[in-house]
């Protein structure tokens, strides 16, 4: 009973503290972006000289890499990795580490690198939870519960969506502890949500029809699912190819500082070039998602295809350059573009549909399948849109596309394995 009362206090303190910290982090990111690009980047970058943009991206990511060289804990870690490292006593955090992580991520995203702010937000919550866990002297076996509370609070704050935060923590950390400890995640998530709601604006679908389900949207899902499967496969393939090419650059003989300088120059100049092609190719992608799911502007099909490629390349380059951030929002933006493009393509045949519905579905499917968090993705679709046309379609598509994508990769792995086995055989053929 004593530990439960301490867990209640921890949940409340973590939720409130994380709500404030994440709100500060998001607002700092926006302030850095406005300051570096002399206004709204989507409007100012096309007018700024390339050398100026390249200087901003390169100097910013070099600063981030120098921060990481000085303190490895500022690097982006997944929540599962953080929980495991803390349990094995391999990782500890202090307030200085937390401050550096916030600065490194805000500078990465604010300068235009294509990573999301949800990963650092969850990690910020985890760091805060770890400190409160030590302060309250809770047993070590409750550390993963504390991390789950922190992670859910971070996601609830950054998306201003409490239920999404809870499901994220359950799928990433605390799935075995759901029965006994989900109540504390609810406290943490809702308290973080209440604080964040005072500073941040939630992502809202303006065209919700609630529980009114249109059969034509569900019918078109049969055509949309193969396109989503191909798009996800293409994303993973292109991202990995770009990363493989960039990582093939010889770095064995370089000192850590020289390597940081190299990846900063390559990453900074490349991202600057991509931003000049289109400001929407960089940054977290939150604006892209908001614009597309609410039909704020019309994008030609050819521009959508180009923007999908640019965002995938920008994401790969950002990961190579050690930009501090996650994949959640970036994946949402790519999925939203694919979905919006599908809607525009269908409309070109005279079918009466609204592309922003498919943008919302695509955003959820990309997150759920690529990050393997289907429940979180469905709940995010629910909390964002409150529209059954999106939620039902997203749930079905996540399940089917996930299965199809895994099947494609299993077939490909089997083909590669058989090819390697043939190469390993003696020239005279297999031995008798």
pLDDT score for 91? 60
CA atoms within 13 A on the CB side of 283: 23
Residue 428 lies in a domain: no
Mean pLDDT, the chain, rounded, equals 87
Among 83-92, 118-127, 323-332, 408-417, which is the least confidently predicted range?
Answer: 83-92
Residue 13 lies in a domain: yes
pTM here? 0.87
Last residue within a domain, chosen from 197, 225, 259: 197
Query: 24 and 164: one domain?
Result: yes
Instruction: Looking at the structure, tell me whether residues 369 and 288 fall in a common domain.
Output: yes
Q: Are residues 346 and 270 in the same domain?
A: yes
Domain boundary residue among 133, 167, 197? 197
For residues 61 and 116, membership in a common domain is answered with: yes
> What is the per-residue pLDDT for 373?
87
Residue 80 has pLDDT above 50, yes or no: yes
pLDDT band at 432 (very low <50, low <70, confident <90, very high): very low
The answer as to whether 431 is a domain residue is: no
Q: Which domain holds residue 347?
A: 215-417
pLDDT band at 87 (very low <50, low <70, confident <90, very high): low
Q: Which residue has the higher pLDDT, 65 or 294?
A: 65
Question: pLDDT tens-digit profile of 360-418?
Answer: 999 999 999 998 889 889 998 999 899 999 999 999 999 999 888 877 666 766 666 66
Asked whether the predicted pLDDT for residue 252 surpasses 70, the reply is no
pLDDT band, very low/low/confident/very high, at 298 (cuts 50, 70, 90):
confident
pLDDT at 421: 65
Look at 93 and 11; give whichever has higher pLDDT: 11
Mean pLDDT of 103-131: 91
Same domain assignment for residues 105 and 167: yes
Q: Residue 373 falls within a domain, yes or no?
A: yes
One domain for residues 241 and 128: no
Q: What percent of the chain has pLDDT over 90?
A: 50
The domain total for the chain is 2
Residues 314 and 370 in one domain: yes
Report the pLDDT averaged over residues 415-424. Answer: 65
Flag whether pLDDT at 431 surpasses 90: no
Within this chain, do residues 169 and 273 fall inside the same structural domain, yes or no?
no
**Judgement on whether residues 232 and 173 belong to the same structural domain of the protein:** no
The pLDDT assigned to 20 comes to 96
**Weakest mean pLDDT among 194-203, 246-255, 395-404:** 246-255
In a domain, 64, yes or no: yes
Residues 176 and 135 in one domain: yes
């Amino acid at each position: 009973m004593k530990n439960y009362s301490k867990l209640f206090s921890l949940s409340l303190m973590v939720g409130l503290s994380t709500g404030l910290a994440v709100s500060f982090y998001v607002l700092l990111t926006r302030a850095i972006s406005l300051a570096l690009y002399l206004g709204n980047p989507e409007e100012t970058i096309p007018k700024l000289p390339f050398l100026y943009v390249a200087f901003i991206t390169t100097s910013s990511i070099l600063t981030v890499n120098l921060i990481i060289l000085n303190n490895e804990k500022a690097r982006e870690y997944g929540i599962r990795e953080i929980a495991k490292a803390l349990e094995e006593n391999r990782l500890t955090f202090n307030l200085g580490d937390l401050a550096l992580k916030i600065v490194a991520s805000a500078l990465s995203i604010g300068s235009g690198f294509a990573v999301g702010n949800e990963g650092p937000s969850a990690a910020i919550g985890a760091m805060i939870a770890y400190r409160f866990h030590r302060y309250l002297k809770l047993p070590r076996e409750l550390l993963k519960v504390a991390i789950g509370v922190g992670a859910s609070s971070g996601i609830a704050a950054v998306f201003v969506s409490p239920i999404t935060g809870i499901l994220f923590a359950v799928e990433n950390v605390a799935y075995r502890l759901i029965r006994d400890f989900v109540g504390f995640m609810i406290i943490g998530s809702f308290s973080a949500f209440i604080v964040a709601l005072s500073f941040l604006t939630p992502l809202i679908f303006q065209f919700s029809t609630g529980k009114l389900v249109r059969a034509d949207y569900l019918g078109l899902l049969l055509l949309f699912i193969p396109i989503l499967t191909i798009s996800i496969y293409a994303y993973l393939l292109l991202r990995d190819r770009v990363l493989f090419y960039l990582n093939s650059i010889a770095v064995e003989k370089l000192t850590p500082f020289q390597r940081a300088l190299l990846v900063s120059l390559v990453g900074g100049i490349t991202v600057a070039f991509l931003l000049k092609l289109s400001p929407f190719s960089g940054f977290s992608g939150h604006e892209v998602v908001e614009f597309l799911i609410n039909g704020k502007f019309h994008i030609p099909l050819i521009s959508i295809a180009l923007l999908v490629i640019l965002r995938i390349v920008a994401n790969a380059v950002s990961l190579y350059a050690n930009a501090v951030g996650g994949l959640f929002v970036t994946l949402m933006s790519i999925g939203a573009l694919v979905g919006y493009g599908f809607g525009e393509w269908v409309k070109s045949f005279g079918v009466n549909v609204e592309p922003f519905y498919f943008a919302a579905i695509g955003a959820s499917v990309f997150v759920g399948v690529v990050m393997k968090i289907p429940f979180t993705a469905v709940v995010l679709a629910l909390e964002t849109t409150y529209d059954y046309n999106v939620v039902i379609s997203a749930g079905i598509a996540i399940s089917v596309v996930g299965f199809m994508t895994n099947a494609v990769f299993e077939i490909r792995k089997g083909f590669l394995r058989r090819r390697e086995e043939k190469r390993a055989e003696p020239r005279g053929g297999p031995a008798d």
